[in-house]
Amino acid sequence: NAFNEGTILDAIYRNPAVVRWLYDDFARRNLPNGTQRSRTRVDSVDFDNAANDISAEQGLAYLRRHCSAGVDFAVFSAFYEFNQHVLKTNFYKPGITAMSFRLDPDFLSSAEYPDRPYGLFFVVGSEFRGFHVRFHDVARGGIRLVRSSYIQNYTQNLATLFDECYNLASTQQRKNKDIPEGGSKGIILLNLAHQDKGKVAFEQFVDSLLDLLLPSSHIRDHYQRSELLFLGPDEGTADFMDWASLHAR
């Protein structure tokens, strides 16, 4: 797997200037309006004074010139594509429990994911990482908690985490074909060292999703539409749903 964690970390360590540029690109897109940021100038392109959305070609050209190895360009072009598809994030909100990103699903390959999701959320916490996928604006489905008993099991769960979430949401979508609501699914994968933190991870997952569903001056909203998520019980989370309902009030 060319994109395992070791390969990505090696690329980051080899290219600190590229990482700084990618973070500045992320900040330019997502810092709340009125927030000051540091200025970055790359070659002849002044990204601080450029139009709000520089062309993808400019960004990729910079990466090609400055990446020290071919695999590094593959890694960082994925980072850059991620930046381009973030619709909103709680990254700059004070006091967050986990980082959450509402993504535009258009980056997904139609060959690998033939049915385009309506909404996609990516959540990362100190004890877990997870996704929420839905196929209609109004959709219902459960939140599944995934534990791993040994490192090979965790590595496999991590490698297939998004595919599992997508496939389960797609299955729920087909199950719901005769009712008005579409299908959705959320998955939370506990980090290997935090297999006993299921409730903590669930609460942080829900809390960070709420960060993106509720109005906030600390979040720059490129989506500009209100959203509701209907979360139900699934494997490992049935005992946590009462807390989620009360917290969402």
Exposure pattern of 6-18 as b/e (b: 16+ CB <10 Å)?
A: eebeebbeebeeb
Give me the catalytic one of 93, 177, 185, 199. 185
Q: What is the C-alpha end-to-end distance of the chain, expressed in Å?
A: 43
Residues 148, 239 contacting (CB under 8 angstroms): no
Q: Look-up: residue for tokens 């209609």? A: 136
**Closest residue by Cα to residue 188 from 238, 141, 125:** 125
One-letter identity of residue 87? L
Distances (CA, A) of 194 to 1, 65, 142, 248: 24, 40, 22, 25
CA distances from 191 to 55, 80, 202 (A): 36, 25, 13
- Annotated active-site residue 185? The verdict is yes
Q: Which of 125, 150, 233, 146 is nearest to 189 (CA)?
A: 146
Q: Which residues are catalytic?
A: 185
